[in-house]
């Protein structure tokens, strides 16, 4: 049976470092508050000039991943692009990335599962591979948040946590009887909580879709009920992780590394405690990048591999995340 092999990873973070002190110059916040409540020390933003979009960051991450896989863009059967901050409303960023890769007809699919975009993308890729519809897939998680944040005190709860960045993985169907690839996954959504983290306008349900009032009453900026999302995360991340461990027939001790979504260091510390996981098996990089939404897990995965934090063969990883939707989930991936 074909199993999904990660054959290459890549990441791209823009050079522009934005410190907490810089944000404190724009709104009523402080380095101390941001570090204590979120763990974030700095994040990256795209340059002010140049109209850099999610597909541009995705392209840089994809080029690295393709190179490591030893593939050319022409080898791809499918591109899956996860983002909540597409370059433009439509067409999707996957199409823009496809063109930037010099491709003329390769299918491209955008998915909008926010912080769990990478998890949903992995499960979709696995299904395409197992069904035989695709053999080589590029999955990208990429966000440009910085151009869409309310950088006044009104938006400070959201604006201090988000950063720009992209991660990419090359996924290949490989015939093997070994117990490798995507061993188990469990994905969920609950639209009842859609208002908990939302960017409302422009919107097709509003007529007209965009008015000056929407600027004035801040509906063009993301809004979050942070406490609600926080509580959902610290309860559901451990729950869903135990589900996938059981499905895979594994125990926490069998994991080589846990890579959670990076939304708040305190969420991940609580998650780590619930799993009773030692520090060396939990990966966090929110301190450097903030929350890059669909980008967090593939960026972290690329760092974990680069830093040789996991065994070269058969490393077993758990990925987990919760975010807007709300959507949440976890999966266990074992390297070949």
Which residues are designated catalytic?
115, 261, 291
Residue among 56, 143, 157, 164 that touches ligand UT7 (CB under 6 A):
157
Q: How far is the CB of 262 from ligand UT7 (least distance, A)?
A: 8
Cβ proximity to ligand UT7: between 135 and 226 the closer is: 226
The least distance separating ligand UT7 from the CB of residue 251, rounded to whole angstroms, comes to 27
Residue 311 token pair: 């065994």
Cα 80–chain centre separation: 13
- Only one residue has tokens 């009842």, namely 192
Q: Is 233 in the site for ligand UT7 (CB under 6 A)?
A: yes
CA distance 10 to 334: 18
Buried/exposed 131-166: b ≥16 CB within 10 Å, e otherwise: eeebbbbbbbbbbbbbebbbeeeebbbbbbbbbbbb
Confirm or reject binding of residue 100 to ligand UT7 (CB under 6 A): no
Q: Using the rule CB under 6 A, is 85 a contact of ligand UT7?
A: no
Task: Rank residues 78 and 267 by Cβ distance to ligand UT7 and give the closer one.
Answer: 267
What gap in Å lies between CA 162 and CA 146, rounded to an integer? 7
Q: Does 284 bind ligand UT7 (CB under 6 A)?
A: no
x-or-dash string of contact with ligand UT7, 202-231, rule CB under 6 A = ------------------------xx-xx-
Strands (E), the chain: 2-12, 16-19, 42-45, 78-82, 108-111, 136-143, 165-175, 181-189, 197-198, 223-224, 257-260, 316-323, 327-334
CB of 61 to ligand UT7, least distance (A): 19
The CB-of-34 to ligand UT7 minimum distance in angstroms stands at 6
- Can you give the binding site for ligand UT7, defined by CB under 6 A? 29, 33, 37-38, 115, 156-157, 160-161, 197, 226-227, 229-230, 233, 263-264, 267, 291, 323
């Amino acid at each position: 049976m074909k199993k999904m092999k990660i054959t290459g990873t890549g990441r791209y973070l823009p050079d522009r470092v934005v410190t907490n002190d810089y944000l404190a110059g724009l709104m009523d916040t402080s380095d101390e508050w941001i570090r204590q409540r979120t763990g974030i020390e700095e994040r990256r933003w795209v340059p002010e000039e140049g109209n850099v979009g999610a597909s541009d960051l995705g392209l840089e991450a994809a080029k690295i991943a393709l190179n490591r896989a030893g593939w050319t863009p022409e080898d791809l059967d499918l591109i899956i692009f996860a983002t909540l901050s597409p370059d433009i409303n439509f067409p999707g960023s996957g199409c823009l990335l496809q063109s930037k890769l010099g491709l003329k007809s390769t299918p491209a699919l955008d998915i909008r599962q926010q912080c769990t975009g990478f998890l949903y993308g992995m499960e979709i890729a696995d299904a395409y591979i197992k069904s035989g519809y695709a053999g080589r897939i590029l999955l990208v998680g990429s966000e440009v948040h910085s151009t869409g944040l309310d950088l006044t005190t009104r938006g400070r709860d959201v604006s201090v946590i988000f950063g720009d960045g992209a991660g990419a993985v090359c996924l290949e169907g490989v015939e093997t009887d070994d117990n490798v690839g995507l061993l188990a996954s469990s994905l969920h959504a609950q639209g009842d909580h859609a208002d908990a983290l939302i960017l409302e306008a422009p919107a097709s349900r509003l007529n007209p879709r965009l008015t000056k009032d929407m600027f004035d009453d801040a509906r063009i900026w993301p809004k979050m009920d942070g406490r609600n999302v926080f509580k959902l995360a610290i309860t559901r991340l451990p729950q869903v992780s135990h589900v996938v461990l059981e499905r895979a027939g594994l125990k926490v001790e069998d994991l080589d590394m846990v890579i959670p979504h990076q939304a708040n260091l305190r969420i991940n510390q609580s998650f780590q405690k619930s799993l009773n996981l030692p520090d060396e098996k939990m990966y966090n990089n929110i301190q450097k990048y903030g929350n890059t939404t669909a980008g967090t897990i593939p960026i972290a995965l690329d760092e974990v591999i680069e830093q040789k934090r996991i065994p070269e063969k058969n490393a077993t990883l758990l990925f987990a995340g919760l975010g807007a939707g709300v959507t949440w989930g976890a999966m266990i991936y074992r390297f070949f």
